[in-house]
Amino acid sequence: MPAQTAEQTDRELLRKDCWANARHAYGTSFIFQRRARRLRRSLHLVSYAGIALPLSSAA
């Protein structure tokens, strides 16, 4: 088996760093998607209350 050159070793380190960063990015996006979903529901509820409650009290 031939010895690895410095370039191959650098590529392997870069590849490992890229995969680690990709996993971190995926985890971060998952967290923010959950947060966005929760906030979207709250926003819909507030929007509904802002329209429905004044209309129901005016009738």
Residue 16 lies inside a defined structural domain of this protein: no
What the block records as the tokens of 55 is: 């209309």
Confidence (pTM): 0.57
pLDDT at 1: 53
Instruction: For the chain, state the CA radius of gyration.
Output: 25
Per-residue pLDDT of the chain (59 residues; tens, 9 = 90+): 566 788 889 999 999 999 999 999 999 999 999 999 999 999 999 999 888 888 888 76
pLDDT at 36: 97
pLDDT at 58: 74
Number of domains, the chain = 1
What the block records as the tokens of 44 is: 């819909």
Range of the domain at 40: 23-58
Residue 40 lies inside a defined structural domain of this protein: yes
The amino acid sitting at 33 is: Q
Residue 11 lies inside a defined structural domain of this protein: no
